[in-house]
């Protein structure tokens, strides 16, 4: 029987950079998850009788919310739900499943790299039929519905068994519990030269892959240990845990410190990588060689043709605006277009659908291609391994060669976390207020060439997204960018992105902090970060 339950709106259900992310306790309020799920369904047109994909990264509350989603999907007229066994689907695997099943869309339950557990974070994200995150016009509609919602529909029914693979029914809706790993692993095998990678591993090439007790564990064990023959134990922290073992599943130099230290040790493996809560981010570290996400995008784009899935070359490269310009130089050399989008994978979907870009990437440790419509951590690791197997050089040698060819974009992101939201807003307002006066003025970073608030016009549908980050551009091509994170759940996080380009004949082996020191000082001078935030240094540098 379908119940129509009266409810009242919550004022805080506007999706951020990637869906709705809140503390678990916020989601545990009566009607909270239901309101948001109904607001998603109310924003859809034509979903009756269609397929919905449902899965998540296994974090605390995953299983409970899956039951709510299934009962509400049945009550709202979906014809079929595909659920990852145990409620597990990595974000890229969910994207693949949406695409291959012809689903109308999917609900992915994850707060990505944010920590999990009863006192930590949960999230719900809606992906559309191309497998990608809902574009802004959909998330705007969801936000509008959430503000006026007065009822939701849910089936009164027993919980569904999501642990046994097979089919069942929930009211008029069919439920299929599917293997979350196999089809995704097959997709990877179709793109990359598995025999070459397997041969290199058999020849003694060593790997350390940290799944951070999050969703990629089962995927990584299947692909790297079973299909590619890496020794058992290559995958570290490979069992998904609801609280990620009390860790923060964010593959950066702070939270993946153990992997970093192992890769810097005298007896380090040849290649190290980590992925995040829902498996879409990646961290790449060669022996004694950390690779920034922006550099990783550039190297992958420059060498993608070495992998069978990309042998025909790339149609274009897309990167988010704060991501360094390293990929731009690769695009220029390849004679293909480079697209600069706002932060958020959702902005790549149209370019990929239109066949304008093949590879996309972001400074926030995301890289991916047109094989799905999400960023994909394991994909990035496999493309690196394919390139290493063909070039038979170390990661450090490949980086040195890349910089000697294209020059080097020294790059760092400084995060000021947990600051008061009003203070963060005041900093951005003050900065916006002085943009017009900055060009031509000198500071520690050099002379400001131009300053603006990034706006994006999507070349496929002409939709416009404004206020996507403040850019201070210098005469020598250096940049400082300021924006507020859209994925946090507490206070505000100010992100300051700092970049300096040095040509192929310049100094290519500086320590990043030294190379960027004048620009770091300039960021403080221009934005008075310490004055606004009370912090004299960032909480995280990546």
Q: How far is the CB of 245 from ligand G16 (least distance, A)?
A: 19
Is 444 designated active site? no
Q: Name the catalytic one among 112, 211, 275, 320.
A: 112
Decide: is 459 part of the binding site for ligand G16 (CB under 6 A). Answer: no
**Closer CB to ligand G16, residue 18 or residue 237?**
18
131 binds ligand G16 (CB under 6 A): no
CB 207 within 8 A of CB 221: no
Closer residue to ligand G16 in complex, CB, 36/403? 36
Quick check: 294 binds ligand G16 (CB under 6 A)?
Answer: no
Half-sphere exposure of 274 toward its Cβ, with a 13 Å CA cutoff? 30
**C-alpha 410 chain-centroid distance:** 22
Site for ligand G16 in 306-325 (CB under 6 A): 320
Query: Can residue 17 be called a binding residue for ligand G16 (CB under 6 A)?
Result: yes
* 376 in contact with ligand G16 (CB under 6 A): no
- Which is nearest to 267 in space by CA: 291, 285, 290, 287? 287
Residue selected from 99, 113, 373, 479 as contacting ligand G16 according to rule CB under 6 A: 113
Query: Are 184 and 92 a contacting pair, CB within 8 Å?
Result: yes
Judge whether 191 and 240 are in contact, CB under 8 Å.
Answer: no
Query: Torsion-angle region of residue 49: left (phi > 0), alpha (psi -120 to 50) or beta?
Result: left
Contact 52, 81 (CB under 8 A): yes
Which of 364, 369, 386, 478 is in the footprint of ligand G16 by CB under 6 A?
Answer: 364
Q: Which is nearer to ligand G16, 71 or 281 (CB)?
A: 281
Among 14, 28, 50, 485, binds ligand G16 (CB under 6 A): 485
**Under rule CB under 6 A, residue 366 binds ligand G16:** yes
487 is an interface residue for ligand G16 by CB under 6 A? yes
Asked if residue 59 binds ligand G16 (CB under 6 A), the reply is: no
Site size toward ligand G16 (CB under 6 A) is: 18
The yes or no reply on residue 344 touching ligand G16 (CB under 6 A) is yes
Kindly state whether residue 414 participates in binding ligand G16, applying the rule CB under 6 A: no
Measured from the CB atom, is 43 or 112 closer to ligand G16?
A: 112
Question: Is residue 282 close enough to count as binding ligand G16 by CB under 6 A?
Answer: no
Contacting residue, 43, 51, 101, 112, with ligand G16 by CB under 6 A:
112
Q: Which residues have a Cβ under 8 Å from the Cβ of 482 and sit 6 or more positions away?
A: 427, 428, 431, 469, 470, 472, 494, 495, 496, 497, 523, 527
Task: Pick one of 121, 222, 280, 328: the residue that binds ligand G16 (CB under 6 A).
Answer: 280
Considering only the stretches 31-39, 274-282, 398-406, 426-434, report the one whose residues sit in contact with ligand G16 under the rule CB under 6 A.
Answer: 274-282
Interface with ligand G16 (CB under 6 A), residue from 319, 495, 500, 532: 495
Choose the binding region for ligand G16 from 342-350, 422-430, 432-440, 521-529 (rule: CB under 6 A).
342-350
Decide whether 8 or 490 has the Cβ nearer to ligand G16.
Answer: 490
Q: How far apart are CA 191 and CA 196, in angstroms?
A: 12
Residue with tokens 């990505």: 112
Question: Taking contact as CB under 6 A, which single stretch among the options 53-61, 157-165, 189-197, 479-487 is the one that binds ligand G16?
Answer: 479-487
Q: Side by side, which strands form the sheet with 366-369?
A: 338-341, 317-320, 359-362, 366-369
Question: CB 237 → ligand G16: shortest distance, Å?
Answer: 18
CB of 92 to ligand G16, least distance (A): 11
Q: With binding defined as CB under 6 A, does residue 486 bind ligand G16?
A: yes
The reply on whether position 350 binds ligand G16 by CB under 6 A is no
* Complete DSSP assignment for 214-261: STHHHHHIIIIIIIS-PPTTSEES-S--TTGGGS----STTTTHHHHH
Q: Is 122 in the site for ligand G16 (CB under 6 A)?
A: no
Is 57 near ligand G16 (CB under 6 A)?
Answer: no
The answer to the question of residue 120 lying near ligand G16 (CB under 6 A) is no
- Taking the C-alpha atoms of residue 322 and residue 297, their distance in angstroms, rounded to an integer, is 13
We find the least distance from the C-beta atom of residue 123 to ligand G16, in angstroms, to be 8
Question: Is 153 near ligand G16 (CB under 6 A)?
Answer: no
Contacts for 271 with CB less than 8 Å, ≥ 6 apart: 205, 206, 207, 208, 284, 285, 286, 287, 384, 385, 388, 395
DSSP 8-state code for residue 270: S
216 binds ligand G16 (CB under 6 A): no
Half-sphere exposure of 387 (CA within 13 A, CB side): 24
Task: State CA 220 to chain mean position distance.
Answer: 18
Q: Which helix (H) or strand (E) holds 360?
A: strand 359-362
The distance of Cα 53 from the centroid of its chain, to the nearest Å, equals: 19
> What are residue 320's DSSP bridge partners?
341
Interface with ligand G16, residue 127, by CB under 6 A: no
Q: What is the contact surface with ligand G16 in residues (CB under 6 A)?
A: 17-18, 112-113, 276, 280-281, 320, 343-345, 362, 364, 366, 485-487, 495
Give the residue numbers marked as catalytic. Answer: 112
């Amino acid at each position: 029987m379908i119940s129509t339950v009266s409810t009242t709106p919550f004022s805080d259900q506007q999706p951020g950079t990637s869906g709705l992310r809140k503390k678990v306790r916020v989601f545990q309020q009566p009607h909270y998850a239901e309101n948001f799920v109904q607001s998603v369904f109310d924003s859809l047109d034509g979903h009756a009788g269609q397929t919905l994909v449902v899965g998540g990264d296994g974090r605390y509350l995953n299983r409970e919310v899956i039951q709510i989603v299934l009962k509400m999907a049945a009550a709202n007229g979906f014809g079929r739900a595909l659920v990852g066994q145990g409620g597990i689907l990595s974000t890229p695997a969910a994207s693949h499943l949406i695409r291959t099943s012809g689903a109308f869309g999917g609900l992915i339950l994850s707060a990505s790299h944010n920590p999990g557990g009863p006192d930590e974070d949960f999230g719900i994200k809606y992906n559309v039929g191309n497998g990608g995150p809902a574009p802004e016009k959909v998330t705007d509609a969801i936000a509008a519905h959430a503000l006026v919602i007065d009822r939701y529909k849910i089936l009164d029914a027993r919980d569904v068994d999501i642990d046994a693979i097979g089919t069942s029914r929930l009211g008029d809706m069919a439920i299929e519990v599917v293997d979350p790993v196999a089809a995704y692993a097959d997709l990877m095998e179709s793109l990359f030269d598995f025999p070459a990678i397997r041969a290199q591993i058999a020849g003694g090439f060593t790997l350390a892959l940290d799944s951070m007790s999050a969703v990629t564990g089962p995927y990584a064990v299947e692909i790297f240990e079973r299909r590619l023959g890496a020794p058992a134990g290559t995958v570290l922290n490979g069992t998904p845990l609801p609280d990620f073992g009390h860790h923060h599943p964010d593959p950066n130099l702070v939270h993946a410190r153990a992997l970093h230290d192992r890769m810097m040790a005298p007896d380090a493996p040849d290649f190290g990588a980590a992925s995040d809560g829902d498996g879409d981010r990646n961290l790449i570290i060669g022996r004694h060689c950390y690779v920034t996400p922006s550099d990783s995008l550039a190297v992958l784009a420059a060498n993608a043709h070495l992998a069978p899935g990309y042998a025909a070359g790339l149609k274009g490269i897309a990167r988010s605006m704060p991501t360094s310009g390293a990929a731009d130089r690769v695009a220029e050399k390849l004679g293909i277009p480079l697209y600069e989008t706002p932060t958020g994978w959702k902005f790549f979907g149209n370019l990929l659908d239109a066949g304008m870009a093949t590879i996309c990437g972001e400074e926030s440790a995301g890289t991916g291609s047109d094989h799905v419509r999400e960023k994909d951590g394991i994909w990035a690791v496999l493309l690196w391994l394919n390139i290493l197997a063909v070039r038979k050089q170390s990661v450090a040698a490949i980086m040195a060669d890349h910089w000697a060819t294209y020059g080097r974009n020294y790059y760092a992101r400084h995060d000021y976390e947990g600051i008061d939201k009003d203070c963060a807003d005041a900093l951005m307002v003050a900065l916006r207020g002085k943009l017009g006066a900055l060009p031509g003025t000198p500071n520690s970073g050099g002379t400001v060439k131009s300053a603006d608030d990034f706006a994006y016009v999507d070349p496929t549908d002409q939709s416009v997204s404004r206020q996507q980050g403040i850019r201070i551009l210098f005469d020598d091509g250096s940049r400082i960018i300021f924006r507020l994170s859209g994925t946090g759940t507490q206070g505000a996080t100010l992100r300051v992105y700092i970049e300096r380009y040095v040509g192929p004949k310049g100094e290519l082996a500086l320590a990043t902090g030294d190379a960027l020191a004048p620009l770091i000082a300039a960021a403080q001078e221009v934005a008075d970060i310490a004055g606004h935030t009370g912090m004299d240094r960032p909480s995280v540098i990546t």
